[in-house]
Structure 1
Amino acid sequence: MAKKKKADEGSWGKLVRDIVVILILVLGIHSCVAKPFYIPSDSMMPILRNGDRLIVSKYPYGWSYASASFHLAPKKPGRWFGKLPERGDIVVLEHPVSRVDYIKRVIGLPGDTIELRGGALIINGKPIKREVEPMLSVPVDANMPGPDSSLGRFLSRDASGKEVLELPIVRETLPGGATFDTIDMGPGYMTDDYGPVKVPADHLFLMGDNRDGSADSRVAVSQKGLGGPVPFDAIAGRAEIISFSTNGTAIWYNPLSWFTALRSDRAGTNLRPAHDPNAK
């Protein structure tokens, strides 16, 4: 009996040890290599939609306190193996005040002067290239438009009678050639005119692609914005790819609904910006 009891205790000890090792490995991968990320809003429309799940890589810019899986690490300045993002990268960051996760696009690097006039972006005194694109039709579902969305004014119906969002698209090209689509809802929004502001050393200027519906570097912290350029140390990683996306109809106790809720055309979407070879 004593031998059996010792063997049982040894088995339980091994199980606990194995669980601890697995947890450490998972947290290590989550903090240092890659982690999943859920899109809860429309601020990065049109490329990202409420209900998208992403893979965010942790290593492209090095590691800081923001890399940790849980936002409990002390906010110590500094970055191991730090490498600045490129203009146009989509990054996940820890809000400098609330420590909530945000996702935005890098618009300005250290030393850049950022300005907006009538919604047109100006970097270092030069208006960036802007091209009006055809309206983008996006199906309406339980996740789209998202909560507190500013896109409701674009609700319409397609030829078959289904509800869609008909979105006004402007393609922007940043210095260096990164090019991507944005939503421009027209004049009259408080974020249409901003600056000029010079980005300090070791800071980044971040904006959402839904230009008139994003709480970003143009918006005060009191209004849930970033309150200006963000410290580089607050960047947690780079958005790489959409792993899968759901339309908001999945029910946790109905496995069949997990599959019927999938937006099959979203999986595998590359989130790195295209580049215009002719841009300066």
Structure 2
Amino acid sequence: MANDNKGGLGETVRVVIHALLIALVIRTFLFQPFNIPSGSMKETLLIGDHLFVSKYAYGYSRYSIPFSPNLFSGRIWGAEPKRGDVVVFRLPREPDVDYIKRVIGLPGERIQMIAGQVHINGVPVERERITDFADTEDGRQVITRRYRETLPNGVSFTTLDLYENGFYDNTPVYQVPPGHIFVMGDNRDNSTDSRVLSQVGPIPMDHLVGRAEVLFFSVEEGERAWAFWRWPWAARWSRIGSLVR
């Protein structure tokens, strides 16, 4: 009986180790879960959204590996992101911090904001006013101007404009360096992104973690995803399974 118990314990340990190894491989090379802690990507992504990021989309760098060991430089099987991709990256000035934004500018391009409209290489991005976005903050309803932007490659998405003539609605021309991308949040007046050179600036390709793909869970702002007993009214069921675009 004692030997049977030891054998059963050993089998359990092996199963747990195998499961952890499989999870590590999936997280490192295939998909990694992330949650959205801020409103910088509203309305595309909301606080409380949980999503999977594909690690293989742009190849692998040191930031693809847990704890980011400095084992190699550059990217293995690297691929350049497409304009309009929603990407997770490590902040250049704080490599332990993950950010999520949308790719607006590619290497060598010139990006500028003029009166709240993005210009790429001197050409304004198509921008159409659509119905306002209604949100709830601190128990009160907030109405925000909403636009549909269409990038030169046809990628279309909505952006929010909180303030007329916001701080970064008019900027100098940003030159995207080789090997870098220029990223912005969809909530234009509430996003610290590549427009803020002192904090973010252009993002080196090596700092890309992956591309946002699909929402696997979502809860209302202020709720906790692990509080399963609150799911019936706290989960945003309609968002679960939706693709990130």
Return the TM-score normalized by structure 1: 0.79
1:217 maps onto 2:194 in alignment: yes
One-letter code aligned to 2:215: I
Aligned to 1:185: 162
- Shift in Å at residue 163 of structure 1? 3.9
Instruction: Report the Cα distance in structure 1 between the residues aligned to 2:71 and 2:98, rounded to whole angstroms.
Output: 15
Report how far residue 8 of structure 1 moved: 5.3
SS of equivalent to 2:18: helix
- In structure 1, the residue corresponding to 2:15 is in which secondary structure? helix
In terms of mean alpha carbon deviation, does 230-239 or 246-255 score higher?
A: 246-255
Which letter maps to 2:194? S
Task: Please tell me whether residue 80 in structure 1 is matched to residue 76 in structure 2.
Answer: yes
1:174 paired to 2:174 = no
SS of match in other structure, 1:40 = coil
Contact 1:110 1:199 in 2 (8 A): yes
Residue type matched to 1:28 in 2? V
- For the residue of structure 1 that corresponds to 2:131, the secondary structure is coil
The correspondence for 2:128, drawn from 123, 128, 131, is: 131
Q: Structure 1's 263 and 191: CA in aligned 2 closer, same or farther, altered over 3 A?
A: same
Change (3 A) 1:82 1:247: same
Q: Is the 8 A contact 1:65 1:75 kept in 2?
A: yes
2:238 is aligned, of 265, 270, 274, to 265
Please show how residues 192-207 of structure 1 align to structure 2 within 5 Å: 192-207=169-184
Matching residue's letter, 1:173 = T
| Contact kept? 1:250, 1:260, Cα under 8 Å | no
CA contact (8 A) 1:117 1:192 kept: yes
Listed one character per residue, the Cα deviations across residues 18-41 of structure 1 (whole Å, up to 9, x for unaligned) are 322221210110111112110101
The 3-state SS of whatever aligns with 1:190 is: coil
SS of the aligned residue for 1:258 comes to helix
Offset, 1:12: 4.3
Q: CA, structure 1 residues 5+267, in 2 after alignment: closer, same or farther (shift >3 Å)?
A: closer
Distance 1:253 1:177 in 2: 38
Within 5 A, what are the aligned runs for 1:1-280?
11-68=8-65, 70-74=66-70, 76-98=72-94, 99-138=96-135, 140=136, 145=137, 163-221=140-198, 225-226=199-200, 228-248=201-221, 250=223, 255-272=228-245
Change (3 A) 1:252 1:213: closer
Identify which range, 238-247 or 70-79, moves more after superposition.
70-79
* Stretch of structure 1 that moved more, 44-53 or 241-250: 241-250
Q: 1:142-194 deviations in whole A, cap 9, x for unaligned?
A: xxx4xxxxxx8xxxxxxxxx843312101111111111110112334221222
Residue 268 and residue 12 in structure 1: after superposition, are their counterparts in 2 closer, same or farther (change >3 A)?
closer
**What per-residue deviation string (whole Å, max 9, x for no partner) do you get for residues 41-98 of structure 1?**
1000111110111121111111111212x33322843111111111100001111121
CA contact (8 A) 1:39 1:50 kept: yes
Larger Rg: 1
Number of residue pairs matched? 244
Aligned-residue offset at 1:13: 4.3
**What's the RMSD between the two structures over aligned residues?**
2.3
> Which residue of the partner structure matches residue 149 of structure 1?
none
Contact 1:172/1:179 (<8 A) preserved? yes
TM-score by length of 2: 0.90
Gaps of 5+ in 1: 146-151, 153-161, 273-280
* CA gap 1:65/1:210 in 2 versus in 1, 3 angstroms: same
Looking at secondary structure, tell me which structure has more strand per residue. Answer: 2
Q: CA deviation at 1:196?
A: 1.0
Conserved 8 A contact 2:219-2:225:
no
Structure 1 residues 174 and 254, CA gap change in structure 2 (3 angstroms): closer
Identity %: 40
